[in-house]
Amino acid sequence: MSLVAITRPQFDVELDIAYSTPRNFTGAPIYRRAAAYLHADAAAALQRAIALARPLGLRLKIFDAFRPAEAQWKMWNHTPNPEFLADPRRGSPHSRGVAVDLTLIDSGGAELDMGTAFDAFRKESYHAATGISEAAQRNRFLLLGLMTAAGWDFYRNEWWHYQLFDARRYPVLSDSSVEGGMM
């Protein structure tokens, strides 16, 4: 199965692939290169979200998209927490190419306040968390509205995570699914 590379100018997004850096919950790079890929169905839904954000003067910043099954195992072995990570034996929507971790940015490229950082594995990261500022709650609901209107489902424990509905119908993919691999 072929995955679509999420690159500019085809996709008007910023890429900040956290797992190619130490700026993630493991504290170490997992990918050897920063790249984002999605299944064609997810790429089409991403284009819809981009189009919905544009008239509001907003853009999307992507932290992660396709995640090879091998990367999911590395994460799980580091932090086997099913509240924030899919058990790799069941397969993650990321490893199927149908999930994306992202946030909203303004016209100057600044991230909107979401109340926590990406990859903050705590209850304040839940979509419905109330222990964050009103502005952060509004921004989360704005992202939720844009993404669901574009055809994405959300994961209740992570404000940054969106996936296609019925994600399990897509096969789990390995690092060899993208030319040159990511790991």
Question: Which positions are annotated as active-site residues?
Answer: 158
Choose among 56, 38, 61, 53: nearest CA to 167. Answer: 38
Residue 58 three-state SS: coil
Q: Say if strands 59-64 and 13-15 run parallel, antiparallel, or are unpaired.
A: parallel
- Taking the C-alpha atoms of residue 174 and residue 96, their distance in angstroms, rounded to an integer, is 9
**Separation between Cα atoms, residue 128 and residue 78, nearest integer Å:** 27
Neighbours of 28 (CB within 10 A): 11
What is the spatial distance between Cα 105 and Cα 120, in angstroms, rounded to a whole number?
A: 18
